């Protein structure tokens, strides 16, 4: 599990980590000295596809920032349903609240593409934030967006059909990753808030209309216009 058995991946050198933090989400508006400070407090760890960065039961001991690869943060219910809350690529943080509460949160972070994740010890991170309120300011803005996004998804569940929700998901993914999407229908279902079967049925329709083209674990978007027609607003994931 985890990074066990991995080749000893390059730990990023200091300069690369600095560059990462400089452009990372949540660290806007910091001076060079501060960027160097937080960079110096960080270290990296490699994870291969399928590995778990943290899970529901874990107390939060580190702040995590994705440096390379892709990590999915999701939420499971007692009934076994799962929704994805966040898809974090390079420069995107995984847990903005955890370091402040320290308590475990009902979230699970799973690696979708082999990833390099930067760690900062919880205390180091919070101390740094207290000394740089601008970072906390940024975090509050980001969490505000997350709340808005989640609330929009509730409204979407009420008034949009599965097909529309899936189109919105595809549009969002297209804007983030381009025309080639490496996701399974299971993963799409978790983003749209529906079942695998319903997703598959919709995808079959879209394929017949030549709006998309599918392979095992991959979707090619052929007609972007059709996605934009069904709701030009994308989600925040």
Q: Binding segment for a second copy among 46-54, 152-160, 162-170, 178-186 (CB under 8 A)?
A: 152-160
Terminal alpha carbon distance of the chain: 26
Q: Are strands 108-121 and 62-76 parallel, antiparallel or unpaired?
A: antiparallel
Query: In the complex, what is the shortest distance from the CB of residue 230 to DNA, in angstroms, rounded to a whole number?
Result: 13
Q: Name every residue whose Cβ is closer than 8 Å to that of residue 100 and which is 6 or more positions away in sequence.
A: 126, 129
CA distances from 216 to 8, 19, 186 (A): 30, 36, 11
Q: Name every residue whose Cβ is closer than 8 Å to that of residue 208 and which is 6 or more positions away in sequence.
A: none
Asked if 218 contacts 181 with a C-beta cutoff of 8 angstroms, the reply is yes
Q: Is 32 in the site for a second copy (CB under 8 A)?
A: no
Residue 155 contact among DNA, a second copy, none, beta carbon within 5 to 8 Å by kind:
a second copy
Which three-class secondary structure state does DSSP give residue 51? coil
Nearer to a second copy by Cβ, of 10 and 147: the residue is: 147
C-alpha span between 152 and 131 (Å, rounded): 34
Binding interface with DNA (CB under 7 A): 158-159, 161-163, 184-186, 194-198, 200-201, 203-204, 207, 214-217
C-alpha span between 223 and 32 (Å, rounded): 44
Q: Is 25 in the site for a second copy (CB under 8 A)?
A: no
Query: In the complex, what is the shortest distance from the CB of residue 197 to DNA, in angstroms, rounded to a whole number?
Result: 4
Nearer to a second copy by Cβ, of 21 and 85: the residue is: 85
Nearer to a second copy by Cβ, of 9 and 100: the residue is: 100
From 3, 89, 100, 113, residue interacting with a second copy (rule: CB under 8 A): 100
Give me the residues that bind a second copy (CB under 8 A), please: 75, 77, 79, 81, 83, 85, 96-97, 100-101, 105-106, 126, 129-130, 133, 136-137, 139-141, 143-144, 146-148, 150-155, 157-159, 193-194
């Amino acid at each position: 599990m985890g990074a066990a058995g991995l080749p000893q991946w390059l730990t990023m050198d200091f300069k690369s980590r600095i560059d990462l933090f400089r452009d990372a989400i949540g660290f806007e508006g910091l001076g060079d000295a501060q960027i160097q400070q937080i960079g110096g407090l960080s270290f990296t760890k490699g994870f291969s596809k399928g590995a778990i960065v943290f899970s529901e039961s874990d107390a939060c001991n580190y702040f995590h920032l994705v440096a390379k690869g892709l990590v999915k943060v999701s939420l499971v219910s007692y009934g076994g349903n799962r929704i994805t809350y966040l898809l974090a690529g390079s420069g995107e943080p995984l847990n903005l609240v955890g370091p402040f509460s320290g308590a475990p949160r009902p979230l699970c972070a799973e690696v979708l593409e082999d990833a390099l994740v930067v760690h900062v010890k919880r205390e180091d991170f919070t101390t740094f934030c207290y000394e740089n309120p601008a970072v906390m300011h940024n975090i509050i803005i980001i969490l505000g967006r997350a709340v808005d996004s989640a609330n929009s998804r509730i409204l979407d569940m009420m008034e949009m059909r599965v097909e529309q929700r899936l189109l919105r998901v595809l549009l969002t993914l297209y804007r983030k990753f381009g025309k080639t999407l490496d996701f399974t229908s299971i993963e799409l279902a978790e983003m749209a808030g529906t079942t695998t079967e319903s997703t598959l049925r919709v995808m079959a329709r879209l394929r017949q209309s030549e709006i998309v083209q599918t392979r095992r674990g991959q979707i090619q978007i052929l007609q972007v216009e059709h996605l934009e027609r069904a709701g030009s607003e994308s989600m925040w994931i």
